[in-house]
């Protein structure tokens, strides 16, 4: 409260009388006008008001917030993440909870509405007093809750691959940064498929824009000419792909091996792949590698025409490791559905939750400051047979897997790297090549190694 | 004279509404800032900013009630004016960040830096100045409404046709603002604000001041709307609502009256948007979504169309319900409750909460055979 | 693989070998064959590739069987053994072709990636060139056209000499030309002739092949290539205009389907039906349920699943529509703007109901065989599903028009909407007609859902993405006029697709919305305005 507003100073002088006045609002006795309607109106307002601010009951359990859309356009992706969190919390409680206390999940529905995300985040932290929040999917939802987490100093675990260019003290990014997904995928295509011509197709929002920017710079640095790169953006939920698919076909007929790098988001993918299949673009001619298409998205498509198209993730359901098989079994049992699929963001929550539990145990406290300080360096097994580690820039190490779509809607892993450390700031972009995030030594999310100063520039 | 314009025809209901708002404007910030968090009367910051948001919606609802309830123009695009006002304020707030952005660029906002913009687009000029931004908050929605209305009302586009093209308008703006090439931050919109006129937007005291400001603007909006509808001009406007052709035949230039009311209403919506943005901390193209505008119509209908106070009440009630329903065990089912509420209100409370309460009140007071209607029911 | 019977492939292989003396000398080399099997078991794509090449080069007697099994994922390897699993589940030793009594331990399918698939395609292409079925020869020639495997040139020449089918001969020649273009040591005259063959072919693939001409070719060849490329390009540009028109028609038919139900509920009845999109969604989910039942109970009927879904979707959406009309909307006649609010509420409820019942994720609706793939007219690629959707939209439109114009119920519907009290006085039960009209509009929306399930997500949000477009179409065409809806849908569809290549998808759409706004100023009642005094109420 260093920037005290005039209001504050004025208020100090008349503290007592006003306290009394406010007291009266609640009881509905106000001297402005004495009609019954005033009483009714004020009482209604007062009651409603109190409803929003009643503090939660005394805490015997430790609360964990789950901030995923259960309705609206993003429910399609986020609902399973809510379920996976409930399952993990349930399982932790069966093991005796954390630090001897049971965990309690607090589920809210931000309804795919970005301002509502901020409101719900505030509610979780301020009213429900959660110890950590697991949530968000789109970048804009993360951006929307970010100021709230900073202001109220809490912890957010963000499980989705994103565009990078961020490292915040209160956020832990368990999804992939661009260097953990996009660049290895392009390397694979260039090496294994001898691709020389690239279509970068994406939905017009910040993740595809940034990823494509990074890829463009990267490809050019590898000697790909500008005329061999085609960039195309479409709006959210684009459903008529006829023109664009035929453009891709045309671009691919220049006599050089062509591939499509797709950052097309969620809903638009089904019609896109249906159109690819119908126009007869086979993976052997023009392979498509996607960064936002996982098992969940494929569940809505007949995958036979898509055989061989690729996706790059840090996890596939088809990976054969004991950890993964146990997880899939547990998930299917939890969902009571033998066809339930698992995907990459779910694994990110598994890792993130395990890391949070370990950090709490290390810090011997649920206090956000202590947990934030304890998290970097914490290791937790991922489901593909490695041990992921939380880095000082609040990103984690992950392997990069490239999978080809199989006829049953699963992926056949055709390439796997070792653990790759997530870069908060892309080396390929001019604005960020000198920046690093380091919350351990520098206590700074955007430290400029050239000028040695925190805060960009 | 201005005072007379503002208070003429003020009924008891309006006075109560004003009294509640004045009380909120003064008491809530004080209860937030002065009382210790443990006190039973302490208002947490989260509740205050939540209610600040509701009150912004209330102002938007009043602006819509002015055109729909009193002039018969069902705008399904009022969210567009709200969002434009919000963007104008957002642009000011972005420019205030200055070199404290992630990349430390003193001129360009972060999203422009990482999308390699080399210079500030011309339409961002001037937004570093607060007075200019305030002017734009009024001018941009106002001008759009003026141009749009000028064409539409002159061509006598009415009824559902008008509703659908207002929807087309907000939908077109939605698509345009989603484009990153437009220079408004695309889907992520404008966020990460730091300061407003020198005060930290996240500070408790700033929030309290913003809350008070919202109450004050809501009072002002209500007074202006009340003033318009109870003036002579307002009588003509209501006549247009009830019988447009007849009013025209009487010699009134119907299009000019409509245009005036529509433009004033758009400016009010813009102000609501401008107050909304610093309180929620983000403005993004989804505010243009046609569904948002439809929801605004629903607030007005729930509260009571053509009552102004009812519109504000509806906005608060529906949004409060939304807040309650989206948490806890109701979270997966809240859309059922919300949907059922809309159906219930339209069938059983066609005059909205306020209208129904009024009828009930009138019936209780007056003998049963007396006509309960205080105002003529708005014709479609 | 679908190509051929084993025996015939043997013949092909023999021919191949006869024509390839270099390869023949290595015939039967046991070390080479052994190496191939080791590589197949190595679980590395480059080893698998190499193994295929060795098998072909050595004319291993099992080569065709092995490669075919590999393509189908029926080739198993592990613990030093390589095993072919036949289509009916028997296990054969890949080396000898002998049946195995028991399954060796540690077997897993040899994995494929696109590179291996291409090698297989090329190998099977070489093997299929002499297939007795002309269609398969053409397919094989196409495979060679893409793989441009120079070692197949002699086989191709032999095949061309023997070929009697004109289409197959052309395909073989094109394959030969594709190889020659990329083969610097081929006679220059042949290569120029090859350019002409490709120019004749004149499609995208020919263009791609021509463009891949090595840079060090002779001036004459380059000149011929340049001419051919520009000739093909100008021809393709024309075709592309036609293609855009087709895309426009197809988008227009989708819009028509989505909007035509609204033209009844909104246009004829005056109900601003915001739940219209959800009726479309219900239709799509009905299709999903029908397919799911067919998949589990009667797999043989899969190709008819959509036909079965059509009446059911109409019924489901229609009944829900009637329920909505009887339960809610009938209390709101004369208050059209309030129907907007109530139906908006209903749409929220329906969406969430579907989300609760079926989960929030997309559901898979498969395409029956007659709707998969594409065919070409000249350079116009026409996908079957789009064609059927256009046909379907036309049928629905015609049927609806017929119902309204030719049947007694249609007459009653028109009577009630034009003058309710008079119709009532004439003995028409207006309530029943209202319910049926709304049911009809909703049912038609359900039909749209069946079609949309083929090209879009089947998710709870399906309806939302079409509702605004539907309103635009109806308003643009003129409320209350089915022909207006038809013309409106087609105009908007085609304009959208003609704009898209120049302005991009988003700007094109914005331009159209602005156009509609301006158009309504010019004609405030839409394209086909209803005339009469009733309108000016």
B346: distance to nearest CA of chain C, Å? 6
C506: distance to nearest CA of chain B, Å? 7
pLDDT per residue over A235-262, tens digit each? 877 888 988 998 898 898 877 889 999 9
Confidence of residue C505 (pLDDT cuts 50, 70, 90): confident
The rounded mean pLDDT for chain A is 84
Is the Cβ pair C364, A300 closer than 8 Å? yes
Distances (CA, A) of C95 to C59, C67, C81, C124: 12, 12, 9, 19
Query: In this predicted structure, which of A60-64, A318-322, C5-9 has the lowest mean pLDDT?
Result: C5-9
Per-residue model confidence (pLDDT) at position C60: 79
Full strand arrangement of the beta sheet holding A103-108:
A103-108, A62-67, A132-135, A156-158, A171-173
Cα-Cα-Cα-Cα torsion C119, C121, C126, C130, nearest 10 degrees, comes to 170
Is the Cβ pair A246, C372 closer than 8 Å? no
Per-residue model confidence (pLDDT) at position B5: 65
- What are the φ and ψ backbone dihedral angles of A205, each rounded to 5 degrees? -150, -175
CB-based contacts of C357, cutoff 8 Å, min separation 6: none
Is the Cβ pair C356, B333 closer than 8 Å? yes
Q: Percent of chain A at pLDDT above 70?
A: 87
| B362: contact with A, CB 8 A cutoff | no
Confidence of residue B1 (pLDDT cuts 50, 70, 90): low
Is the Cβ pair B178, A205 closer than 8 Å? yes
Output C345 or C73, whichever has higher pLDDT: C345
CA distance C335 to C338: 6
Of B30, B53, B335, the CB nearest to A11: B30
Counts for chain C of helices (H) and strands (E), in that order:
21, 6
Tokens coding C455 = 């090209």
Count of structural domains within chain B: 1
Tokens coding C350 = 């329906």
Query: In this predicted structure, which of A15-19, A163-167, A280-284, B272-276 has the lowest mean pLDDT?
Result: A15-19
- What are the φ and ψ backbone dihedral angles of A203, each rounded to 5 degrees? -80, 145
Confidence of residue C223 (pLDDT cuts 50, 70, 90): confident
Domain annotation covers residue B370: no
- What are the φ and ψ backbone dihedral angles of C280, each rounded to 5 degrees? -60, -45
Is the Cβ pair A71, C355 closer than 8 Å? yes
Q: Under DSSP, is residue B196 helix (H, G, I), strand (E, B) or coil?
A: strand
pLDDT per residue over C437-473, tens digit each? 999 999 999 999 999 999 888 988 888 889 989 999 9
CB atoms within 10 A of CB C237: 9
pTM for the model: 0.85
Per-residue model confidence (pLDDT) at position A154: 95
A434: distance to nearest CA of chain B, Å? 10
**A160, HSE (Cβ side, Cα atoms, 13 Å):** 24
User: Region C309-318: what's the mean pLDDT?
Assistant: 96
pLDDT exceeds cutoff 50 at A87: yes
CA distance A174 to A431: 24
Q: Which sign, positive or negative, has the C-alpha torsion C266, C270, C272, C276?
A: negative
B182: DSSP letter: G
Output A19 or A255, whichever has higher pLDDT: A255
pLDDT exceeds cutoff 60 at B378: no
pLDDT per residue over A140-170, tens digit each? 899 899 989 998 999 999 999 998 889 999 9
Is the Cβ pair B16, A430 closer than 8 Å? no
pLDDT per residue over A332-371, tens digit each? 999 998 888 999 999 999 999 999 999 999 999 999 999 9
Query: In this predicted structure, which of B85-89, C56-60, C501-505 has the lowest mean pLDDT?
Result: C56-60
Q: Under DSSP, is residue A312 helix (H, G, I), strand (E, B) or coil?
A: strand
Domain of B259? 2-365
* Burial of residue B231, with CB atoms counted within 10 A of its CB: 0-12 exposed, 13-18 middle, 19 or more buried: middle
Q: Under DSSP, is residue C381 helix (H, G, I), strand (E, B) or coil?
A: strand
Q: How many residues are there in chain C?
A: 537
Residues 503-532 of C with CB under 8 A from B: 506-507, 509-510, 513-514, 516-518, 520-522, 524-526
Q: Which residues pair with A109 in a beta bridge?
A: none
Output C213 or A173, whichever has higher pLDDT: A173
User: Region C264-291: what's the mean pLDDT?
Assistant: 91
- What are the φ and ψ backbone dihedral angles of A437, each rounded to 5 degrees? -110, 130
CA distance A185 to A411: 15
Q: Percent of chain C at pLDDT above 70?
A: 93
- What are the φ and ψ backbone dihedral angles of A387, each rounded to 5 degrees? -115, 115
Is the Cβ pair C243, A404 closer than 8 Å? no
Helix (H) or strand (E) holding A29: none
Is the Cβ pair B301, C338 closer than 8 Å? yes
Per-residue model confidence (pLDDT) at position A51: 46
Relative to beta strand A379-381, strand A387-389 is antiparallel
Relative to beta strand C81-85, strand C91-93 is antiparallel
Q: Under DSSP, is residue A309 helix (H, G, I), strand (E, B) or coil?
A: coil
Per-residue model confidence (pLDDT) at position B371: 46
Q: Which sign, positive or negative, has the C-alpha torsion B83, B88, B93, B95?
A: positive
Q: Is the ipTM above a cut-off of 0.90?
A: no
Helix (H) or strand (E) holding B274: helix B254-280
Q: What's the first-to-final CA gap in chain B, in angstroms? A: 34
CA distance C37 to C77: 9
Domain residues of chain C, as ranges? 6-128, 239-528
Confidence of residue C514 (pLDDT cuts 50, 70, 90): very high
Check if the beta carbon of residue A56 is closer than 8 Å to that of residue A128: yes
Query: In this predicted structure, which of A134-138, A415-419, C376-380 has the lowest mean pLDDT?
Result: C376-380
CA angle in degrees (0–180, nearest 5) for A209-A215-A220: 125
Radius of gyration of chain C (CA): 31
Residues 175-214 of A with CB under 8 A from C: 192-193, 204
pLDDT exceeds cutoff 50 at C481: yes
| C537: contact with B, CB 8 A cutoff | no
**B87, HSE (Cβ side, Cα atoms, 13 Å):** 28
CA distance A45 to A123: 19
Per-residue model confidence (pLDDT) at position C135: 81
pLDDT per residue over B327-352, tens digit each? 777 777 888 988 998 898 888 888 88
Q: Single out the residue of C116, C350, C432, C395 nearest to residue C256, CA to CA.
A: C395
Distances (CA, A) of B153 to C182, C507, C520, C534: 67, 27, 11, 21
For tokens 């306020």, the residue is: B354
Per-residue model confidence (pLDDT) at position B377: 47
Q: Single out the residue of C356, C352, C526, C321 nearest to residue C437, CA to CA.
A: C321
Q: Which chains touch C (3 or more CB pairs under 8 A)?
A: A, B
pLDDT per residue over B128-155, tens digit each? 999 999 999 999 999 999 999 999 999 8
Contact residues on chain B for C471, CB-CB shorter than 8 A:
164, 167
Per-residue model confidence (pLDDT) at position A31: 39
Q: Single out the residue of A135, A414, A162 nearest to residue A263, CA to CA.
A: A162
The rounded mean pLDDT for chain B is 88
Output B132 or C62, whichever has higher pLDDT: B132
User: Region C194-199: what's the mean pLDDT?
Assistant: 88
| A275: contact with C, CB 8 A cutoff | yes
Per-residue model confidence (pLDDT) at position C26: 42
Where helices occur in A299-382 by DSSP H, the ranges are 322-335, 344-363, 368-374
Contact residues on chain B for C335, CB-CB shorter than 8 A:
350, 380
Is the Cβ pair A75, C360 closer than 8 Å? yes
pLDDT exceeds cutoff 70 at A62: yes
Is the Cβ pair C506, B179 closer than 8 Å? yes
Confidence of residue C531 (pLDDT cuts 50, 70, 90): low
Residues 69-108 of B with CB under 8 A from A: 99-105
| C340: contact with B, CB 8 A cutoff | yes
Tokens coding A2 = 């260093």
Per-residue model confidence (pLDDT) at position C192: 85
Of A4, A18, A110, the CB nearest to B30: A18
Per-residue model confidence (pLDDT) at position B82: 97
CB atoms within 10 A of CB C394: 13
Q: How many residues are there in chain A?
A: 457
pLDDT per residue over B178-203, tens digit each? 888 888 988 888 988 888 988 998 88
User: Region A208-221: what's the mean pLDDT?
Assistant: 90
Q: Which chains touch B (3 or more CB pairs under 8 A)?
A: A, C
Name the CATH topology of C239-528. ABC transporter involved in vitamin B12 uptake, BtuC (1.10.3470)
| B377: contact with C, CB 8 A cutoff | no
Where helices occur in B34-158 by DSSP H, the ranges are 45-69, 78-97, 110-114, 130-154
User: Region A41-67: what's the mean pLDDT?
Assistant: 61
pLDDT per residue over A377-394, tens digit each? 999 999 999 999 999 999
pLDDT exceeds cutoff 80 at B366: no
Per-residue model confidence (pLDDT) at position A50: 47
Query: In this predicted structure, which of A32-36, B45-49, B331-335, C233-237 has the lowest mean pLDDT?
Result: A32-36
Contact residues on chain A for C373, CB-CB shorter than 8 A:
278, 280
pLDDT exceeds cutoff 60 at A114: yes
Tokens coding C484 = 């207006």
pLDDT exceeds cutoff 60 at C159: yes
The rounded mean pLDDT for chain C is 84
Per-residue model confidence (pLDDT) at position C90: 82
Check if the beta carbon of residue B296 is closer than 8 Å to that of residue B79: yes
Q: Which sign, positive or negative, has the C-alpha torsion A134, A140, A145, A151?
A: positive
Is the Cβ pair A147, B44 closer than 8 Å? no
Per-residue model confidence (pLDDT) at position A25: 38
CB atoms within 10 A of CB B45: 22
CA distance C51 to C108: 17
Q: Under DSSP, is residue C404 helix (H, G, I), strand (E, B) or coil?
A: helix
Contact residues on chain A for B275, CB-CB shorter than 8 A:
none
C124: distance to nearest CA of chain A, Å? 14
Written as one string, the DSSP assignment of C74-121 is -EEEETTEEEEEPTTS-EEETTT-PBPSSPPTT-EEPP--HHHHHHHH
pLDDT exceeds cutoff 50 at C537: no
A127: distance to nearest CA of chain B, Å? 8
Q: Under DSSP, is residue A290 helix (H, G, I), strand (E, B) or coil?
A: strand
CA distance C45 to C248: 43
Confidence of residue B4 (pLDDT cuts 50, 70, 90): low
Is the Cβ pair B284, A114 closer than 8 Å? yes
CA distance A34 to C467: 49
Q: Single out the residue of B26, B23, B22 nearest to residue B208, CA to CA.
A: B26
pLDDT exceeds cutoff 70 at A15: no
CA distance A399 to A386: 8
| C117: contact with A, CB 8 A cutoff | yes
Question: A382 in the Ramachandran plot: left (φ > 0), alpha (ψ -120 to 50) or beta?
Answer: beta
Domain annotation covers residue B374: no
Tokens coding B36 = 């210790």
Contact residues on chain B for A109, CB-CB shorter than 8 A:
326-327, 331-332, 334
CA distance A366 to A346: 24
Q: Percent of chain B at pLDDT above 90?
A: 52
CB atoms within 10 A of CB C323: 15
Check if the beta carbon of residue A165 is closer than 8 Å to that of residue A141: no
Query: In this predicted structure, which of A31-45, A182-196, B210-224, C374-388 has the lowest mean pLDDT?
Result: A31-45
pLDDT exceeds cutoff 90 at C8: no
CA distance C496 to C244: 10
CA distance C474 to C520: 12
Confidence of residue C310 (pLDDT cuts 50, 70, 90): very high
Delineate the domains of chain A, giving CATH numbers in brackets.
Answer: 6-44 (no CATH), 62-176+322-396+440-446 (3.40.50.2300), 182-313 (3.40.50.2300)
CA angle in degrees (0–180, nearest 5) for B337-B341-B343: 120
For tokens 């098989």, the residue is: A325
């Amino acid at each position: 409260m260093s920037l005290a507003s005039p209001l504050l100073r004025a208020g100090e002088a008349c503290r007592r009388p006003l306290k009394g006045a406010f007291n009266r609002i609640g009881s509905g006795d106000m001297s402005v006008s004495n009609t019954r309607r005033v009483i009714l109106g004020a009482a209604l307002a007062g009651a409603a008001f109190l409803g929003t601010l009643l503090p939660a009951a005394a805490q015997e359990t430790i609360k964990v917030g789950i901030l995923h859309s259960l309705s609206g356009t993003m429910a399609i992706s986020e609902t399973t993440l809510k379920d996976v969190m409930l399952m993990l919390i349930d399982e932790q409680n069966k093991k005796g909870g954390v630090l001897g206390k049971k965990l309690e999940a607090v589920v809210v529905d931000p309804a795919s509405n970005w301002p509502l995300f901020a409101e719900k985040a505030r509610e979780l932290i301020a009213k429900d007093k959660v110890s950590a929040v697991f949530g968000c999917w789109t970048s804009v939802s993360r951006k929307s809750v970010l100021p709230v987490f900073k202001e109220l100093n809490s912890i957010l675990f963000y499980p989705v691959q994103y565009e990078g260019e961020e490292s915040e003290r209160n956020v832990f990014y368990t999804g992939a940064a661009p260097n953990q997904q996009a660049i290895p995928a392009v390397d694979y295509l260039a090496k294994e498929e001898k691709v020389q011509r690239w279509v970068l197709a994406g939905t017009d929002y910040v993740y595809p824009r940034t990823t494509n920017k990074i890829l463009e710079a990267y490809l050019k640095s590898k000697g790909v000419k500008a005329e061999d790169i085609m960039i195309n953006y479409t709006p959210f939920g684009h459903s008529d792909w006829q023109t664009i698919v035929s453009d891709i076909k045309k671009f691919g007929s220049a006599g050089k091996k062509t591939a499509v790098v797709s950052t097309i988001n969620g809903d638009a993918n089904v019609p896109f792949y249906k159109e690819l299949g119908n126009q007869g673009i086979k993976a052997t001619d023009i392979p498509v590698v996607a960064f936002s298409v996982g098992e969940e998205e494929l569940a809505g498509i007949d995958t036979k025409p898509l055989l061989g198209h690729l996706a790059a993730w840090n996890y596939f359901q088809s990976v054969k490791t004991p950890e993964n098989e146990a997880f899939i079994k547990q998930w299917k049992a939890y969902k009571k559905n033998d066809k339930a699929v698992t995907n990459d963001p779910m694994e990110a929550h598994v890792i993130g939750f395990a890391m949070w539990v370990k950090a709490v145990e290390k810090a011997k406290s649920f206090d956000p400051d202590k947990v934030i300080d304890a998290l970097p360096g914490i290791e937790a097994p991922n489901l593909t047979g490695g041990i992921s580690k939380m880095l000082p820039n609040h990103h984690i190490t992950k392997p990069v897997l490239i999978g080809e779509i199989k006829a049953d809607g699963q992926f056949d892993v055709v390439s796997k790297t070792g653990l790759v450390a997530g870069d908060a700031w892309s080396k390929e972009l001019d604005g960020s090549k000198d920046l690093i995030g380091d919350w351990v030594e520098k206590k700074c999310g955007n430290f400029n190694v050239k000028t040695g100063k925190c805060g960009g520039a | 004279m201005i005072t007379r314009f503002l208070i003429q025809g003020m009924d008891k209901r309006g006075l109560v509404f004003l009294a509640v708002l004045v009380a909120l404007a003064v008491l809530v910030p004080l209860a937030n800032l002065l009382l210790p968090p443990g006190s039973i009367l302490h208002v947490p910051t989260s509740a205050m900013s939540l209610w600040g948001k509701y009150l912004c919606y209330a102002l938007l609802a009043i602006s819509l009630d002015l055109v729909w309830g009193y002039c018969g123009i069902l705008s399904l695009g009022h969210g567009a004016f709200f969002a434009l006002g919000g963007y104008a304020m957002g642009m000011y707030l972005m420019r205030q960040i200055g070199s404290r952005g992630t990349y430390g660029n003193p001129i360009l906002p972060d999203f422009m830096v990482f999308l390699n913009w080399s210079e500030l687009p011309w339409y961002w000029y001037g937004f570093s100045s607060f007075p200019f931004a305030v002017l734009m908050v009024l001018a941009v929605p106002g001008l759009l409404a003026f141009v749009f209305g000028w064409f539409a009302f002159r061509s006598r586009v009415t009824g559902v046709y008008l509703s659908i093209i207002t929807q087309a308008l907000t939908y077109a703006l939605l698509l345009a603002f989603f484009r990153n090439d437009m220079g408004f931050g695309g889907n992520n919109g404008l966020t990460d604000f730091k300061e407003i006129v020198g005060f930290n937007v996240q500070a408790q005291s700033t929030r309290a001041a913003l809350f008070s400001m919202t109450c004050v603007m809501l009072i002002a909006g209500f007074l202006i709307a009340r003033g318009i509808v109870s003036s002579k001009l307002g009588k003509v406007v209501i006549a247009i609502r009830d019988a447009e052709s007849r009013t025209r035949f009487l010699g009134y230039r119907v299009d000019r009256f409509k245009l005036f009311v529509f433009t004033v209403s758009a400016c009010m919506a813009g102000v609501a948007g401008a107050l909304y943005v610093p309180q929620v901390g983000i403005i993004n193209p989804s505010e243009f979504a046609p569904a948002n505008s439809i929801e605004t119509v629903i607030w007005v209908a729930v509260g009571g169309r053509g009552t102004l106070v009812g519109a504000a009440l509806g906005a608060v009630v529906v949004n409060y319900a939304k807040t309650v329903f989206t948490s806890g065990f109701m979270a997966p089912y809240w859309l059922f409750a919300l949907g059922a509420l809309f159906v219930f209100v339209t069938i059983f409370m066609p005059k909205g909460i306020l209208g129904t309460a009024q009828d009930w009140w009138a019936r209780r007071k007056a003998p049963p055979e007396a006509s309960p209607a205080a105002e003529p029911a708005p014709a479609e | 693989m679908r190509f051929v019977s084993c025996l015939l492939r043997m013949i092909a292989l023999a021919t191949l070998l006869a024509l390839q003396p270099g390869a023949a000398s290595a015939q039967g080399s046991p070390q080479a064959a052994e190496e191939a099997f080791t590589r197949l078991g190595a679980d590395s794509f480059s080893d698998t590739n190499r193994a295929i090449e060795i098998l072909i080069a050595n004319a291993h007697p099992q080569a065709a069987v092995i490669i075919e099994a590999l393509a189908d994922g029926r080739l198993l390897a592990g613990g030093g053994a390589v095993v072919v699993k036949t289509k009916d589940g028997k296990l054969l030793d890949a080396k000898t072709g002998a049946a195995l009594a028991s399954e060796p331990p540690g077997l897993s399918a040899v994995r494929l990636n696109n590179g291996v698939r291409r090698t297989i395609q090329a190998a099977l292409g070489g093997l299929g060139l002499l297939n007795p079925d002309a269609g398969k020869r053409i397919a094989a020639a196409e495979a060679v056209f893409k793989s441009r495997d120079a070692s197949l040139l002699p086989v191709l020449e032999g095949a061309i000499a023997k070929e009697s089918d004109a289409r197959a001969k052309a395909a073989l020649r094109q394959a030969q030309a594709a190889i020659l273009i990329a083969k610097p040591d081929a006679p220059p005259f042949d290569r120029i002739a090859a350019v002409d063959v490709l120019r004749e072919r004149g499609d995208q693939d020919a263009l791609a092949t021509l463009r891949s001409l090595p840079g060090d070719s002779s001036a004459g060849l380059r000149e011929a290539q340049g001419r051919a490329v520009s000739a093909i390009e100008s021809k393709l540009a024309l075709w592309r205009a036609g293609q855009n028109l087709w895309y426009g028609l197809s988008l227009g038919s989708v819009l028509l389907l989505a909007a035509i139900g609204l033209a009844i509920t909104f246009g004829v009845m005056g109900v601003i039906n915001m739940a219209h999109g959800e009726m479309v969604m219900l239709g799509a989910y009905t299709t999903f349920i029908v397919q799911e039942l067919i998949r589990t109970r009667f797999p043989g009927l899969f190709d008819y699943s959509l036909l079965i879904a059509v009446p059911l979707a109409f019924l489901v959406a229609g009944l829900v529509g009637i329920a909505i009309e009887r339960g809610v909307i009938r209390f709101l006649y004369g208050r059209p703007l309030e129907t907007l609010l109530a139906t908006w509420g209903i749409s929220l409820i329906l969406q969430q109901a579907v989300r609760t019942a079926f989960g929030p994720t997309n559901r898979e609706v498969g395409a029956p065989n007659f709707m998969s793939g594409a065919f070409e007219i000249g350079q116009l690629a026409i996908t079957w599903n789009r064609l059927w959707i256009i046909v379907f939209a036309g049928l629905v439109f015609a049927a609806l028009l017929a119902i309204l114009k030719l049947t007694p119920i249609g007459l009653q519907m028109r009577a009630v909407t034009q003058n309710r009290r008079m119709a009532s006085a004439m003995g028409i039960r207006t309530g029943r007609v209202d319910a049926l009209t709304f049911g009809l509009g909703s049912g038609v929306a359900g039909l749209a859902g069946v079609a949309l399930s083929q090209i879009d997500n089947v998710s709870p949000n399906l309806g939302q993405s079409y509702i605004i477009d539907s309103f635009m179409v109806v308003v643009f065409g003129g409320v209350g006029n089915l022909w207006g809806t038809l013309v409106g849908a087609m105009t908007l569809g085609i304009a959208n697709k003609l704009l898209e290549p120049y302005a991009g998808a988003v700007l094109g759409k914005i331009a159209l919305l602005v156009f509609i706004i301006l158009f309504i100023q010019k004609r405030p009642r839409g394209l086909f305005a209803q005339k009469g005094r009733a309108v000016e109420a």
